[in-house]
Amino acid sequence: MSQDAPALVEIFWAFLLVGCTAFGGAMFWAQRMLVRRRRWLRPEEFADLLALCQFLPGPNIVNLATVLGEGYRGLPGAAAALAGLLLLPMLMVTAIAALYARFGALAPVHGVFSGVAASAAGLALALALHVARPVVRQRPATSVPVMAAAFVAVGLLRWPVAWTLLALAPLSIALVWRRTA
């Protein structure tokens, strides 16, 4: 990680801000916070950490908060990151669920949720471009074919992510290994 370890309160507040602004696109906001604003990670470090978190079971943003917090401050850092990430969204989702139970049958409510879904898709695409840029710059000959294969497998053919990862990870490792050997 690219600098001195932040304090527990800094970890908490950083992930609280991510959690408050991140419905449908937490990883985009996490990348913005950790790489661009606080400069706790370099873009390459974020891409590597995200790759690890995607490999682990569970939500990627929860994995990222846990791994980053633990990396900086051990178990208390992981707890601070998770508390910051989950506290306000949990309260907000509870309130929204109560409102939806009361007003969910109204047509304007469905329009609002369609708009939120479109925004989330745009954030996911923006994150993919931000994360892919440093990887493609460092290793274009090995990364672009693997990314294209993953897109085709998951995005077009609708293959399960886990099986696609299990197939492409060894291929990616072999391509990098062959190139550096």
Q: Which residue has the higher pLDDT, 134 or 72?
A: 72
Q: Which long-range contacts (CB under 8 A, 24 or more apart) does 67-75 make?
A: 68/1, 68/11, 68/34, 68/40, 68/41, 69/11, 69/15, 71/1, 72/1, 72/5, 72/6, 72/11, 72/40, 73/5, 73/6, 73/7, 73/8, 73/11
Report whether pLDDT(2) > 60.
no
Structure tokens at 109: 């409510």
Q: How confident is the model over 107-135, as a mean pLDDT?
A: 84
Q: Which residue has the tokens 């980053």?
A: 68
Worst-scoring range by mean pLDDT, 26-35, 121-130, 141-150? 121-130
Q: How confident is the model over 99-118, as a mean pLDDT?
A: 86
Q: How confident is the model over 150-154, as a mean pLDDT?
A: 93
Q: How confident is the model over 20-35, as a mean pLDDT?
A: 83
pTM of the model: 0.61
